[in-house]
Amino acid sequence: MTEGHDEAARQLVAQFGFDRSRLMDIVQGLQRRFGHVSDDAVRSIASALRIHAVEIEDMVSFYAFLDRKPRGRCRIRLSRTPVSMIKGMAAVASAFEAALGISVGETSSDGAFTLEWTSDIGMADQEPAALIDTTVLTALVPDDVPHIVAALRDGRRSAGVGPVLPKAGVRSSLVQPGPLLSGGHDNAAGLQAALCREPVKVIEQITASRLRGRGGAGFPTGLKWRLCRQAVGEEHYVVCNADEGEPGTFKDRLLLSEFPDLVFDGMVIAGYALGSRHGVLYLRGEYAYLLDDLQAVLAKRRQLGRLGVAICGTIGFDFDIRIQLGAGAYICGEESALLESLEGKRGAPRDRPPFPTERGYLGQPTAIDNVETFACVARIMEHGAAWFTASGTAESTGTKLMSVAGDCKRPGVYEVPFGITVNELLDLVGAADAEFVQVGGPSGQPVAPKDFGRRIAYEDLSTGGSTMVFGPQRDVLEIVLQFADFFVDESCGWCTPCRVGTTLLRTGLRKVIAGQASLEDIATMEAVAGTVTRMSRCGLGQSAPNPILGTMRSFPHLYEAKLRADADISGFDLDKALGEAIKVQGRQPVPEEG
């Protein structure tokens, strides 16, 4: 049944040099070819790598885009986020169900299609969007669906679907450029400027710019680089975190598709500053459609001497970049989980210390920075630290790329100076009647109109850039429930408070929305949320309760309105509870007397 899997697995293991740490590439090769990683393949990999099958199963079963059992030959994944839902995804999903004759979550009987939901795919500005294998289709309407399915049935593989619906291609999403995104980016100006300095002077310049990590956590980049450079190791690594998984953000997608050289320049500059020879760009699986273009950019850079040996003629500075494709796991955006994933393991975060700057990829000193951070680095080297600190606030220098989507007239990427208020941003994007803004994605903060005067900056509303705008017609609690679903789906499961707590929070929220919760239930939810926040191992768990806790504070009336009328009595519906037993046994209970 799984003929050829054994041989293919052995070939892939050999192709990746019998290297255990390249397990991700090995199993992805099998997934691409056979649609799943079979038992036979697992056994072959295990024997070829001399590891146990249970280790491979551990890794493969962790990722949403890897399968242990065969599913449909064509995978249709529909992005399910609050933004996709308000843009009409439910109707698109129904159209797919009708056209394929299956429900979401099922595989067609001929094995041709699997239709399923997936978390955000980085297209919030162009929802409803779908991933068909690795092809992205955007701005779908139900009428598009029959054409898509017909094209797929015609035997034209998913790659041929794009041309069928040219309007559904990924559009450029840059609405407002600023200093970072103005001017050329493929002339290596920043890189040339960096190579004229001593490596430590490069770090000094970055420190002087007071650049902080653009992923959201805001760690000072100069300090990170100094610690990494000082750490002793056989090799130093530069890792670009392009696992842009926070729902609602797509600014890294923009940088990678329209300003890739700026990002790669930043990585090469980091390599020079840290004394590193190896860079890795970890690209989220959802962005696989960018892979060929990015590889072409890297190839061109090698031709131009901007990558490889003696970069730009600098004798002794050799640096190259490889791209590692992820496989569908939000947690891999967390830097230590990303490292585990890079090493071919489940994406479970690590305990710190040691920090990645000391012991990172393959146990060596590693600097992991966001895509946007590297772009900033290149510009800082090009224009100088003073140019950079001229915009922003005291603690948040420079500009920030904001991904804005939802109920607004002009969704897209805006380059704005740090310190801009939520109100000012809403004016820019055309969202005068916003009732609820989620700043920083599900793990960020829900902001109510009374707080629209707050500033976007590390010292106030810290954000990686995701901004979801919701108008007065939206159901806030339904949106919060979708965030709760997201965290249940994306918790890695390693630690108890996050693994179980996110599930309990969703259960509690469902109870509230169903109108079955008492005041005591709300208090219980709040207590669970607090425990998850305080006791979880990494940022995912620590921030997972934010939408619930934040809306409890900002929109308490919405919770109050849902409380049971007899809220102080905790009871249950006896008839409903007995319903299943009555059905199974086929007899009614004896009515109570009196």
**Residues in the site for another protein, rule: CB under 8 A?**
39, 51-55, 57-58, 61-62, 329, 346, 351, 353, 488-497, 499-504, 507, 524, 527-528, 530-531, 534-537
Mark residue 266 as left, alpha or beta (left: phi above 0; alpha: psi -120 to 50; beta: remaining). Answer: alpha
DSSP string, 150-189: HHHHTT--GGGHHHH-GGGSPPP-EEE--STTSS-SSS-H
If the CB atoms of residues 92 and 540 are measured against another protein, the closer one turns out to be: 540
If the CB atoms of residues 40 and 125 are measured against another protein, the closer one turns out to be: 40
Count of other CB atoms within 10 angstroms of residue 325? 19
Is 463 within 8 Å of 216 (Cβ atoms)? yes
If the CB atoms of residues 307 and 528 are measured against another protein, the closer one turns out to be: 528
Q: Least distance in Å: CB of 355 to another protein? A: 12
If the CB atoms of residues 411 and 508 are measured against another protein, the closer one turns out to be: 508
Q: Least distance in Å: CB of 510 to another protein? A: 10
If the CB atoms of residues 260 and 501 are measured against another protein, the closer one turns out to be: 501
If the CB atoms of residues 245 and 501 are measured against another protein, the closer one turns out to be: 501
Q: To the nearest 10°, the Cα dihedral for 539, 130, 32, 173?
A: -70
DSSP string, 25-65: HHHHHHHHHHSS--HHHHHHHHHHHT--HHHHHHHHTT-TT
DSSP string, 543-562: HTTHHHHHHHHH-HHHHHTT
Q: In the numeric block, which tokens belong to residue 409?
A: 């007239």
User: What angle in degrees, to the nearest 10, is found between the helix axes of 199-209 and 221-230?
Assistant: 150
Q: Least distance in Å: CB of 65 to another protein? A: 13
What is the Cα–Cα distance from 188 to 307, expressed in whole angstroms? Answer: 11
If the CB atoms of residues 1 and 315 are measured against another protein, the closer one turns out to be: 1
402 DSSP β-pair partners: 414
Contact residues for 157 (Cβ-Cβ < 8 A; gap 6+)? 74, 133
What is the Cα–Cα distance from 335 to 10, expressed in whole angstroms? Answer: 31
Q: Least distance in Å: CB of 544 to another protein? A: 11
Q: Least distance in Å: CB of 357 to another protein? A: 16
If the CB atoms of residues 147 and 510 are measured against another protein, the closer one turns out to be: 510
Q: In the numeric block, which tokens belong to residue 366?
A: 């590693």
Q: Least distance in Å: CB of 547 to another protein? A: 17
Task: Give the DSSP H or E segment for 441.
Answer: none
Q: Least distance in Å: CB of 262 to another protein? A: 34
| Apex 126 CA angle, 399 and 550, nearest 5 | 60
| Apex 206 CA angle, 201 and 207, nearest 5 | 90
Q: Least distance in Å: CB of 71 to another protein? A: 16
If the CB atoms of residues 301 and 537 are measured against another protein, the closer one turns out to be: 537
What is the Cα–Cα distance from 479 to 437, expressed in whole angstroms? Answer: 11
If the CB atoms of residues 458 and 486 are measured against another protein, the closer one turns out to be: 486
Q: Least distance in Å: CB of 134 to another protein? A: 22
Q: Least distance in Å: CB of 255 to another protein? A: 29
What is the Cα–Cα distance from 307 to 261, expressed in whole angstroms? Answer: 11
